[in-house]
Chains A and B, each alone.
Chain A
Amino acid sequence: MRKFWLRLQYTKWFNITKDGLFKENPIVVAVLGICSALAVTNRVENAIAMGLAVTFVVTASSLVVSMVRKVIPSRVRMITYMVIISAFVIMVQMFLEAYFPVIAAALGAYLGLIVTNCIVMGRAEAFAVKNPMKYTFFDGIANSLGYTWILIAVAIVREALAFGTILNFRVMPDTWVNWTVMALAPGGFFVLGLIIWGVREWAQNFEVAAE
């Protein structure tokens, strides 16, 4: 068992996954895509829906970019990413409007704004365009799940404090007074800031000032 674990730690896909989830987590370490992380995290269900939508878009667009990476003329590669990403985002939007209209209404404009989520473009340019499809798949999944778990963590804190519930189940005592500011943008900044601090402290990830 120990031997298996040791060997696992030296496989490429294991390290890609670990980087995406923790060591190079897009929100905590790179601080990418925090616009949507602040906007939709007032309810856990919105955070889960947003996380799944981003997971699909990142994974699918990275896979396509990786698939066509040898034919993309380097001059138009950014536009190529943009077109591929937009196509997938519109598809997700249509799918949610058709099958989950309530979630689509709750996410509102932020669903379409996945196009501008830096994580999607970032993974395409930093990883997918240089790596084969099998590793790109792990990279896409790991990075977007890294995004999703931070979103859910923020949303759990915010929903509990702002509405006294988690996924609409009452978790706070009846005497709990709803903390409205947590449902608004400042609450998002406070909680996200604390979580980024906490995770960086735990992972001993410090930025060193240039000499």
Chain B
Amino acid sequence: MNRTLKIIGFVVAMGVITSSLLIGMDVLTSERITRNEQALLQSKVLDAFDIEYNTSNIYDTFVANVEEVNVEIDGQTKPVYRNPETGSISFEIEGGGVWGPIIGVLTLNEDLMTIEKVGILAQQETPGLGGRIVELPYLAKYEGVVFDPSVEILKEGANAPNEVDAITGATSTSSSFQIILNTSYETVVPAYQATLGGE
């Protein structure tokens, strides 16, 4: 009995000490981690808008060159980033991949139909297969593709303006990404147009 109590006491004490250490560490770092994630998003948007920046002035360049439009979707506000010079817009896209969420940035031309650039912020796809979605040469295939009325990711023979080649050997990642692109487009763009029209 005494020994059991001792073990329980030890386990509880250890749990309390380690979790308070972790909470302390979280308090110390969480602000910086959020800021790093923000900086990654901002750098992708600046990349897509062809605005030059360096690692130390991402935030300032972003604030000076990018307009933020808050769009209401299903009662929630979502920021859409607009380049005042060209009129192209950029917004975060998110959805389920094969192993976890895929989060990215979609940038559209001023006609709000043609893709200027697609960037990936976070993904957990199979390394070497679906994971190749982060590779810049692959993402470059999306430049100039038109939502007419939606984008299609095909296994082979992408010819029409709304078709893109899939990643070889990653059928599920490709079809999930197609869904992510199209649903984000269909929800964000009409809401953005409504917000602009209402102003």
Chain A residues close to B by CB (< 8 Å): 71-73, 75-76, 79-80, 83-84, 86-87, 90-91, 94-95, 97-99, 101, 184
Closest 10 CB pairs of A and B: A98-B29, A98-B32, A87-B18, A101-B36, A94-B29, A73-B7, A91-B25, A97-B33, A98-B33, A94-B25
Known contacts A97-B29, A98-B33, A101-B40; A91/B10 CB under 8 A: no
Is A71 within 8 A of B10, CB to CB?
A: yes
Contact residues in B for A72 (Cβ distance below 8 Å): 10
Interface 1/0 per residue, B33-63 and A, CB below 8 Å: 1001000100000000000000000000000
Q: Can you list 15 A-B pairs with a CB-CB distance of less than 8 A?
A: A71-B10, A73-B6, A75-B7, A83-B15, A84-B18, A86-B18, A91-B25, A94-B26, A94-B28, A95-B25, A95-B29, A97-B33, A97-B36, A99-B32, A101-B40
Are B14's CB and A80's CB within 8 A? Answer: yes
Assess whether A83 is in contact with B18, with CB atoms less than 8 Å apart.
Answer: yes
Residue of B nearest to A75 (CB): B7
Min CB distance, B42 to chain A, in Å?
13
Interface of A is mostly: helix
> Are A90's CB and B22's CB within 8 A?
yes
In the bound complex, CA of A99 to CA of B25 (Å): 13
* Residue in A79, A91, A95, A98 whose beta carbon sits within 8 Å of that of B21 in the complex: A91
Point out the residues of chain B lying under 8 angstroms from A184, CB to CB: 128
- Using CB atoms, name the residue of chain A closest to B35: A98
A contact residues around B26 at 8 Å (CB): 94
When C-beta atoms are compared, the residue in chain B nearest to A100 turns out to be B36
Question: How many Å from the CB of A127 to the closest CB on chain B?
Answer: 20
